[in-house]
Amino acid sequence: MKPNVILPAFVLSLTACSTEPLLGEQPANLLELEVQGLSFVGPDTIKSGWTTIRVNNTGGMTHHALVYRLPDGITAEMVDEQIVEPIQRILTAAIGGDTEKAAEIAATIPAWVGDLVWMGGPGMMSDGVTGEATMYLEPGNYILECYVKTDGVQHNYNPEPGEFGMMLPLTVVAEDGGMAEPDANVTLTLTNSGYEITDGAFRAGDNDVRVKFEEQRLYNNFVGHDAHVFRIDDDTDVDAAVRWPDFFPTEGQQTPAPARFVGGIHDMPQGATGYFKLDLEPGEYGITAEIPDAAKNGFFKRFSVDTD
């Protein structure tokens, strides 16, 4: 861990596991969560295999929902105490200008942070947006988390001892949910040099986006590239929006977001494929990643959606 690295905290609250039969577009293995204050509310158990995680964000601000798998022997309490809480103290020290203290705290973060496996989850969603991502999840223990910052406090951090913030422990059980791999109208392929639309096209209305993580790498020893979509209106500060998901700077992911984020998917391992939904009005959009210097690293792509 680089001593000057500011790590995000993760917090989320989720709800809902259902195994209802397929009804039209209804996913068969769906975990549906609500945002209430700074928590995810909903079920905490889901069957394995293809799994849809939906977050209805009516919480009044931008959130997201990274899903990651815990290595054997690591509990949500350990993540909260040994990673989330120190990262908040690093952020607080950095905001106060005490980089020495921030570096001291960073040195205490356990090496097993590198064994957490980022497994997608709904990307940046502004207030009023429903985020939905579908991933293939093996049985195990996971956490779903939002680490957006508000007034210098990460949403996953809860100062109350023993209480989680936007951090929902999730159990993926051995029984397979039986859901088929989703279809998609557009495929976005991520390599180490950026985004490429390799099949189909974005369209007005509902989009099912396939994301192929053909290549993946770590930035600042911590995050991989991913995809977050925002709307570009005439008055949108595009540069600020492209930079916003980078959580390393103290102002990164600080609310309010400089643009309307309409969905996406968090990073997944090299070789993985994930899916997310977008509901797009005609207009201009950008895709950016939660990494340092996203544009310089190739991770900013504009696209237009025409009226059908």
- End-to-end CA separation in angstroms for the chain: 48
From 47, 54, 69, 155, residue interacting with Cu ion (rule: CB under 5 A):
155
Spatial CA neighbour of 294 closest among 207, 195, 221, 209: 195
Whole-number minimum distance, CB 35 to Cu ion, in Å? 7
Which residue in the block uniquely carries the two structure tokens 């340092």? 292
Quote the CA–CA distance of 187 and 162 in Å, as a whole number: 42
Output 146 or 259, the one with its CB closest to Cu ion.
146
Within residues 52-111, the interface with Cu ion by CB under 5 A covers 63
State which amino acid sits at residue 18: S
- Kindly state the tokens that stand for 106: 């960073």
Written in H, E and C, the secondary structure of 2-46 is: CCCCCCCCCCCECCCCECCCCCCCCCCCEEEEEEECCEEECCCEE
DSSP reduced 3-state for 176: strand
- Given a contact cutoff of 8 angstroms between Cβ atoms, the answer to whether 188 and 196 are in contact is yes
* 148 sits near Cu ion (criterion: CB under 5 A): yes
Instruction: Build a one-symbol-per-residue string for 158-177: x at contacts with Cu ion by CB under 5 A, - elsewhere.
Output: --------x-----------
Output 14 or 166, the one with its CB closest to Cu ion.
166
Whole-number minimum distance, CB 148 to Cu ion, in Å? 4
Output 44 or 208, the one with its CB closest to Cu ion.
44
By CB under 5 A, which span of 72-80, 105-113, 155-163, 170-178 interacts with Cu ion?
155-163
Whole-number minimum distance, CB 65 to Cu ion, in Å? 8
Output 148 or 278, the one with its CB closest to Cu ion.
148
Output 146 or 209, the one with its CB closest to Cu ion.
146
Whole-number minimum distance, CB 123 to Cu ion, in Å? 12
Whole-number minimum distance, CB 107 to Cu ion, in Å? 27
Output 135 or 167, the one with its CB closest to Cu ion.
167
Q: What number of residues does the chain have? A: 308
- Given a contact cutoff of 8 angstroms between Cβ atoms, the answer to whether 170 and 29 are in contact is no
Whole-number minimum distance, CB 157 to Cu ion, in Å? 11
Contacts of residue 97, defined as CB under 8 A and 6 or more positions apart, other chains included, come to none
* 146 sits near Cu ion (criterion: CB under 5 A): yes
- Given a contact cutoff of 8 angstroms between Cβ atoms, the answer to whether 155 and 167 are in contact is no
- Size of interface with Cu ion, in residues (CB under 5 A): 5
Pairing of strands 194-200, 186-191: antiparallel
Whole-number minimum distance, CB 146 to Cu ion, in Å? 3
Pairing of strands 30-36, 45-56: parallel
Output 207 or 288, the one with its CB closest to Cu ion.
288
* 9 sits near Cu ion (criterion: CB under 5 A): no
Whether the ω angle into residue 256 lies within 30 degrees of 0, i.e. cis, is yes
Output 137 or 166, the one with its CB closest to Cu ion.
166
Output 257 or 272, the one with its CB closest to Cu ion.
257
Whole-number minimum distance, CB 16 to Cu ion, in Å? 18
Quote the CA–CA distance of 82 and 71 in Å, as a whole number: 14
Give the footprint of Cu ion on this chain (CB under 5 A): 63, 146, 148, 155, 166
